[in-house]
Copies of this chain bind each other. A is one copy, B any other.
Amino acid sequence: MEHESPHREVDAASQPRRYTKPRRIAVLTAGGDAPGMNAAIRAVVRIGAAAGIEVLGSLRGFEGLVYGNFKDLGGRAVANIIQRGGTVLETSRAGEFRTAAGRARAAENLRYRGVEALVVIGGDGALQGSAAFADEIGINVMFVPASIDNDVPGTDYAIGFDTAVNTALQAIDRIRDTAFAYERVFIVEVMGRDSGFIALEVALGGGAEAVVVPEFDINVDDLCVRIEQSQLRGKRSSIIVVSEGPRTGGALAIAGAVKQRLGVEPRVVVLGHIQRGGAPTARDRLLASRMGAAAVQGITDGHPPALIGEKRGQIVYSPLGEMVGEPRRLDPDLFKLVEVLAT
């Protein structure tokens, strides 16, 4: 990754400049929390302060906009938070903000306080609301992707993903200690209902025998054959990593199928919410700091509503409206690599 100055994917010249540098902006965190959100908030506040912009924090995500629940964020308000998981601005389900009436009320609350632009830090769910808000209300919105599932379009990495993968990997390392001590098949379920990014990186990093993700079909017979072959080659234990959710069936379904075919009772481990918390990794703190800075810079530059992304190591701005619904693809080569390396 080379760190270059922000590059705009859209041709700025072709866009009518509608936005000017504001004196006051707001920042909020929406949807499921992700490690690194605090680092992003800190960057927005500090870069804002350096640019002479006041920053308000909307509490509990969009709910704070709807009910006028704001907090002044001076530089000291974000001291000593860069290393903390969760979000000091708290978060909640969008609720009222999903309705046009709720969004109108949010707009009034912002106008009343003289807030001229908004930074939203959130996942795929918050993206749609942010785009609708920018479109309906005409307020400038910069969207910073934060999602442990890494399922936000327009960026290679969302804030929180690297931390979640490392947390899950440490869990796999612990399980491996036991797996080596005892003859066992372990089925480990990780987060990622609609995307296998966590599962794939955890499987590769954890040296798993196989990975089951929503994006690619897997034949359970093949999976069982692979487990048997690996045991014939002398492996005492096998670890299978599975993404949660109905598309894979989750760990329990896979375990049931394996038991039926192989006659062994696999141990099931569902990692669950531990993947969401914890101190962010270096990579997530850096990504959050750079994206938070780019969001404020986008606003001061008068850039139209955008999703801030990191693509091939560079910060890019993508038009916010066009990003909604964009699919994210998993690398099939990495998927195959799991199998070859487990051999």
- Interfacial residues, chain A to chain B (CB-CB below 8 A): 1-5, 29, 32-33, 35, 37, 42-43, 46-47, 49-50, 75-76, 79-80, 82-87, 90-92, 156-157, 162, 165-167, 169-171, 173-178, 180-183, 186, 201-202, 204-207, 233-236, 267-279, 281-283, 285-286, 289-290, 293, 311-314, 331, 333-334, 337, 340-343
| Contact partners of A82 in chain B: CB under 8 A | 205-207
Q: How far is the CA of A314 from the CA of B272 in the complex (A)?
A: 31
Q: Assess whether B173 is in contact with A282, with CB atoms less than 8 Å apart.
A: no
A267 to B305, CA, bound (A): 35
Q: State whether A282 touches B85 (Cβ < 8 A).
A: no
Chosen A-B contacts, 14 in total, with CB atoms closer than 8 Å, are: A1-B157, A2-B331, A3-B333, A37-B181, A43-B341, A80-B180, A83-B176, A83-B206, A169-B281, A174-B274, A178-B277, A269-B274, A312-B313, A313-B313
Residues of B within 8 A of A47 (CB): 340-341
Distance of A46 Cα from B236 Cα, bound (Å) = 18
A269: B residues at CB distance < 8 A: 272-274
Contacts of A171 in B (CB 8 A): 274
